Amino acid sequence: MTSAPQDPGAAGDGPAARPPLPEVVPADGLPARVRIHEVGPRDGLQNEQTVVPVEVKAEFVRRLAAAGLSTVEATSFVHPRWVPQLADAAELFATLTADPELRGVDLPVLVPNDRGLDRALELGARHVAVFASATESFARANLNRTVEESLAMFAPVASRAAAAGARIRGYVSMCFGDPWEGAVPVAQVVRVCRALRDMGCAEISLGDTIGVATPGQVEALLTALGTAGVAPEELAVHFHDTYGQALSNTLTALRHGVTTVDASAGGLGGCPYARSATGNLATEDLLWMLRGLGIETGVDLDRLAATSGWMATRLGRPSPSRTVRALSVPSHKES
């Protein structure tokens, strides 16, 4: 018996009846698999005007993990006066680590200093991230320190985290442009990346905090880092999408051998200390591209988009992700 052809535009079609798009057409020079470092609960929610209740945050993390995201950056152990949106870090993190559904899910947290690390380790954190800046202006605005002073603040955090058996990631912000200083010399970024790597960061995430980068810049920075001995396997990319360049920048990085990409469900995100920072690359937009290229991620796009739709309702505004919005209509073939 042959089944009747599906009418994707028929009344009552839910997302399940949607034809399997995008068509898969692989391209040369790309990895077979990409690891997504989901930052929605941290980078996304740190910038929300609405304070999201802790139980909603916990449910958000659970749904992200259930969609197949195995690394979900959960929160920040920063000063609550600096980021009131994440003042519930301890309560949230304790809830998450006690949840059997989240066993095996990597839940990194941001820690700027010893105090932050103490708070994270007390609650059993196994993966922490320090966050440096390539520019003096942002180091001052975000950390109340010069670049050198902030690196000096991170060094004991990195060695103590290693001694406690925790993995450590290092972010570098303002890698491609700074709202106060304009263009950022590549050598400045390379120097901070090397300093973080030398203090023991297992992975360095290159941040385009204000979303101004274009692919030529990405290529130039990755080439310079390679020359300085920092391999693509040690790197992740973290693009905010202010000017709609995040996907093309990501593709450029993938062609250079980077296989870890930071993204935020629904395109939430921003930094309260860089006014021009808007949302991160939306995880769904990234997944659409990777799926079309036949690149494995282990993430269920429909389930993730449903999670972002759910979160958008909680935040009271539509998701900025193009893919989330497109998937919320019944069919791609509707005219």
Closest of 43, 41, 45 to residue 107, by C-alpha: 41
Task: Please identify, using beta-carbon distances, which residue of 82 and 310 lies nearer to ligand HMG.
Answer: 82
Distance of closest approach, residue 120 Cβ to Mg ion, in angstroms = 19
- Residue with token string 């200390």: 273
Rounded CA-CA distance 270/27 in Å is 32
Helix (H, G, I), strand (E, B) or coil at 237: strand
Rounded CA-CA distance 225/217 in Å is 12
Interaction partner, residue 116 (Mg ion, ligand HMG, none; CB < 5-8 Å by kind): ligand HMG
**At a CB cut-off of 8 Å and minimum separation 6, what does 313 contact?**
none
Restricted to residues 43-62, the positions that interact with Mg ion (CB under 5 A) are 43
83 contributes a contact to ligand HMG by CB under 6 A? yes
Distance of closest approach, residue 281 Cβ to Mg ion, in angstroms = 10
140 contributes a contact to ligand HMG by CB under 6 A? no
**At a CB cut-off of 8 Å and minimum separation 6, what does 157 contact?**
111, 112, 113, 114, 116, 117, 128, 130, 168
Distance of closest approach, residue 174 Cβ to Mg ion, in angstroms = 10
Distance of closest approach, residue 88 Cβ to ligand HMG, in angstroms = 13
41 contributes a contact to ligand HMG by CB under 6 A? no
DSSP letter for each residue of 28-91: TT--SB-EEEE-IIIIIGGG-SSPPPHHHHHHHHHHHHHTT-SBB--EE-S-TTT-GGGTTHHH
Distance of closest approach, residue 236 Cβ to Mg ion, in angstroms = 12
259 contributes a contact to ligand HMG by CB under 6 A? no
Give catalytic status of residue 175 as yes or no: no
Catalytic residue among 175, 193, 201, 271: 271
113 contributes a contact to ligand HMG by CB under 6 A? yes
Closest of 155, 159, 147 to residue 121, by C-alpha: 159
- State the number of binding residues for ligand HMG (CB under 6 A): 26
CA 330 to each of CA 4, 12, 43, 73, 175: distance values in angstroms, whole numbers, following the listed order: 19, 8, 30, 31, 40
Interaction partner, residue 221 (ligand HMG, Mg ion, none; CB < 5-8 Å by kind): none
The two three-digit tokens of residue 298, written as one number: 């282990």
Q: Which residue is nearest to ligand HMG (CB)?
A: 207
Q: Phi/psi at 43 (nearest 5 deg)?
A: -65, -35
Interaction partner, residue 275 (ligand HMG, Mg ion, none; CB < 5-8 Å by kind): none
Q: Residue 22, preceding bond cis, omega within 30 degrees?
A: yes
Task: Please identify, using beta-carbon distances, which residue of 268 and 301 lies nearer to Mg ion.
Answer: 268
Among 209, 217, 278, 307, binds ligand HMG (CB under 6 A): 209
Restricted to residues 226-245, the positions that interact with ligand HMG (CB under 6 A) are 238, 240
Q: How many residues does the chain have?
A: 335
Among 271, 281, 282, 299, binds ligand HMG (CB under 6 A): 271
311 contributes a contact to ligand HMG by CB under 6 A? no
Report the phi/psi class of residue 106: left, alpha or beta, with left for phi > 0 and alpha for psi in -120 to 50. Answer: beta
Task: Please identify, using beta-carbon distances, which residue of 121 and 237 lies nearer to Mg ion.
Answer: 237
Stretch of 36-44, 101-109, 252-260, 313-321 contacting Mg ion, by CB under 5 A: 36-44
Rounded CA-CA distance 186/122 in Å is 38
Task: Please identify, using beta-carbon distances, which residue of 40 and 309 lies nearer to Mg ion.
Answer: 40
Instruction: Fill in the amino acid letter for 59.
Output: E
Restricted to residues 162-201, the positions that interact with ligand HMG (CB under 6 A) are 171, 173
Distance of closest approach, residue 29 Cβ to Mg ion, in angstroms = 27
Binding residues for Mg ion, per CB under 5 A? 43
Catalytic residues: 271
